[in-house]
Amino acid sequence: MCGIVGYVGGRPCRDLLVAGLEKLEYRGYDSAGIALLENGSIDTVRAVGNLANLRAAVGMDGDGNGGVAVAAPPATIGLAHTRWATHGRVTEENAHPHGDCDDRVQIVLNGIVENHSELRRELAADGHTFSSETDAEIVAHLIERHYDGDLTEAVRATFNDLRGHYAFAAMHADQPDTLVGARQECPLVAGLGDGESFLASAIPAFLAQTRDVLLIENGEIVTIDREGARITDAAGTPVSRDAEEVTWDEGTAEKGGYPTFMMKEIHEQPDAVAETIADRLPTTDGVDLSELELDDDLIARIRRIVIVACGTSYHAGLVGRYAIEQWARIPVEMDIASEYRYRDPVVGPDDLVIGITQSGETADTLAAMRLARERGATVLAITNIMGSQATRDSDAVLFTRAGLEIGVAATKTFTAQVAAMYLLGLWLAKARGGLGPDRIAELIAELKHVPSRIEETLESVDDRVRAIARSHASQRFFLYLGRNIGLPVCLEGALKLKEISYIPTDAYAAGEMKHGPIALLDESTPVVCVATDSPVLEKVLSNVAEVRARGADVVAVATEGSTEAAEASDQVLFVPRTDWVLQPILAILPLQLLAYYIARLNDLNVDQPRNLAKTVTVE
């Protein structure tokens, strides 16, 4: 999605702002722009395409010549933006920042202003003229309309005119020491440095400059200057909030020696899972989730659990469903968040609704969680991001501790989510008496071994996965088959391959093959089958026999030592043996690697696949 960076302070800020945008590149964008204020006037430059084009346009490259150089390189206040087109085509005119009629105001905006058409009509009737097709531009004109010498008040009045979900930042040529931002549903954070302040849509944009962060909440207006930040609400009432220190290592935002962020993050999975389970398994038979502060009464009376999520997070939820039902014997329903929110669901006070979202900012998941909460359900968020919206739209939060994930394709956040679901399953099993203490102790011991087994798997399958990738990299279609707890692994493996290699995939419950999809198979079709140990292994293997009989080329992911699986398939990728319910957290690893190597063999940008961005905050 779009990215916002703003700076006010004592340093020339053009390069700082562009460096901030570079840190947000992982979010995906199609154009970029920058506005700098100096000597009472604002210079704005926009460019379609990547940041190299913006750098060239502002004369940052080479000898500094040849660009439409921003005339104010010493400017110490400015705004910058990366745009992901929603309203209006990908053109220079539609790139941000956007100005008012006299170019006294400049704004950058993330998200969507829903009532932009009606506001545009009103403003046009008042004589405002527009230079872009965007919903964002009307924000600059509204500020122009409301401005009476106080940018904060003009932003507040503008904010109150808008409907939708957005975050924006504004500056005015008459106020060379102030930036003002506002937030409604899209992320906005302020960074507080020594004699300087930042505004951004995500912390990495200024992490190299300061670690003191102020999280802006929905409905708030924030004014920053060299001295710091002041927050007020939509009515103008001051809000007091302390800054928090971000403890992320700056290296987290770098590739750490790997060729891509995705590969780095695949290899961070042992840590991500270890961190997620670490202090929550304090004894041999105890799971400590007291941090949830959910009362015992509620746990005793939960009638059912509903899991809402999107994409990869949904697949983690599917694994969690098996674990919770198997161990705690509480019925679990799964829903794709974008469907749930629109189908008037039957949900109420005896339901525990779990929203899984690594970013904590996915609009559909947040809306589903809010709906369930409005109807009286208790809502638990599972998220990777402190301070994200999901943490505020829930009654309890279980953090995964995967660290920042830069690659668009979720990998370490997925395994951390699965680990969190296992913790939850065991905790509920203990609280509801679904499992005896011995079985819980056995599972905890297995779970504690998972990080080292992930490491072992990544090491042991790598060469073989590369070889399989080489022999299949030019295939035009892949089918993934699995049953029971292997099915979510197939869904996730298939999603990884399609999103980073653009090869069509289908993932099916293997028992459904005979009801239609078997018609897809011919001698050239690679079929990836998850055949790890489980109560349905025999059935999976007979499905494998069915597809092999049609000539398909079967790659099986199987539990170490499973001669049946090895014999039943053309090629096998073994993962270490563990309890069958825990097997998915290992079985996904070769499939992440397979997708990765196929995409790389096809020379594709795995960190930033086309048409995709990390956080889906707009519908």
Return the active site residues: 2, 614
Q: How far is the CB of 361 from ligand F6R (least distance, A)?
A: 7
Q: How far is the CB of 409 from ligand F6R (least distance, A)?
A: 4
CB distance 390 to 381 below 8 Å: yes
Q: Is residue 415 part of the contact set for ligand F6R (CB under 6 A)?
A: no
Q: Is residue 410 part of the contact set for ligand F6R (CB under 6 A)?
A: yes
Q: Going residue by residue from 348 to 387, which x/- string records binding to ligand F6R, judged by CB under 6 A?
A: ---------xxx--x--x----------------------
Q: How far is the CB of 384 from ligand F6R (least distance, A)?
A: 8
* Alpha carbons 425 and 262: distance in angstroms, whole number: 29
CB distance 503 to 598 below 8 Å: yes
Nearer Cβ to ligand F6R, position 152 or 357?
357
Backbone angles phi, psi at 259, to 5 degrees: -70, -25
Stated length of the chain: 619
Q: Going residue by residue from 294 to 333, which x/- string records binding to ligand F6R, judged by CB under 6 A?
A: ----------------xxxx--------------------
Nearer Cβ to ligand F6R, position 313 or 378?
313
Angle between helix axes 486-501 and 583-601 (nearest 10 degrees) is 20
Q: How far is the CB of 530 from ligand F6R (least distance, A)?
A: 18
Q: Going residue by residue from 484 to 513, which x/- string records binding to ligand F6R, judged by CB under 6 A?
A: -----------x---x--------------
Q: How far is the CB of 410 from ligand F6R (least distance, A)?
A: 3
Q: How far is the CB of 605 from ligand F6R (least distance, A)?
A: 14
The encoded tokens of residue 564 equal 């049946």
Determine the residue with CB nearest ligand F6R.
Answer: 311
Count of chain residues binding ligand F6R (CB under 6 A): 15
Where does 329-400 have alpha helices with state H?
A: 337-340, 363-374, 389-392
Q: Is residue 616 part of the contact set for ligand F6R (CB under 6 A)?
A: yes
Q: Are strands 98-99 and 41-48 parallel, antiparallel or unpaired?
A: unpaired
Nearer Cβ to ligand F6R, position 505 or 562?
505
The encoded tokens of residue 132 equal 């872009």
Nearer Cβ to ligand F6R, position 132 or 359?
359
Q: Going residue by residue from 220 to 259, which x/- string records binding to ligand F6R, judged by CB under 6 A?
A: ----------------------------------------
Nearer Cβ to ligand F6R, position 394 or 615?
615
Q: How many CB atoms lie within 10 A of CB 31?
A: 26
For residue 82, give the DSSP letter. E
CA torsion, ordered 135, 137, 139, 143, to nearest 10 deg: -160
CB within 8 A of 166, min separation 6: which ones? 109, 110, 111, 112, 113, 184, 185, 186
Q: Going residue by residue from 200 to 219, which x/- string records binding to ligand F6R, judged by CB under 6 A?
A: --------------------
Nearer Cβ to ligand F6R, position 361 or 553?
361
Strands (E) in 299-358, as ranges, are 304-309, 332-336, 351-357
Residues 541-600 binding ligand F6R (CB under 6 A) are none
Distance from chain centroid for Cα 445: 31
* Alpha carbons 544 and 189: distance in angstroms, whole number: 51
Nearer Cβ to ligand F6R, position 123 or 618?
618
CB distance 571 to 555 below 8 Å: yes
Nearer Cβ to ligand F6R, position 60 or 273?
273
Backbone angles phi, psi at 200, to 5 degrees: -160, 165
Is residue 611 exposed (0-12), middle (13-18) or buried (19+ Cβ within 10 Å)? exposed
Is residue 441 exposed (0-12), middle (13-18) or buried (19+ Cβ within 10 Å)? middle
Q: How far is the CB of 583 from ligand F6R (least distance, A)?
A: 21
Backbone angles phi, psi at 487, to 5 degrees: -65, -50
Quick one: which of 409, 424, 497, 589 contacts ligand F6R (CB under 6 A)?
409
Q: How far is the CB of 306 from ligand F6R (least distance, A)?
A: 16
Quick one: which of 175, 525, 534, 615 contacts ligand F6R (CB under 6 A)?
615
Residue with the two structure tokens 């087994």: 453
Which residues bind to ligand F6R, rule: CB under 6 A? 310-313, 357-359, 362, 365, 409-410, 495, 499, 615-616
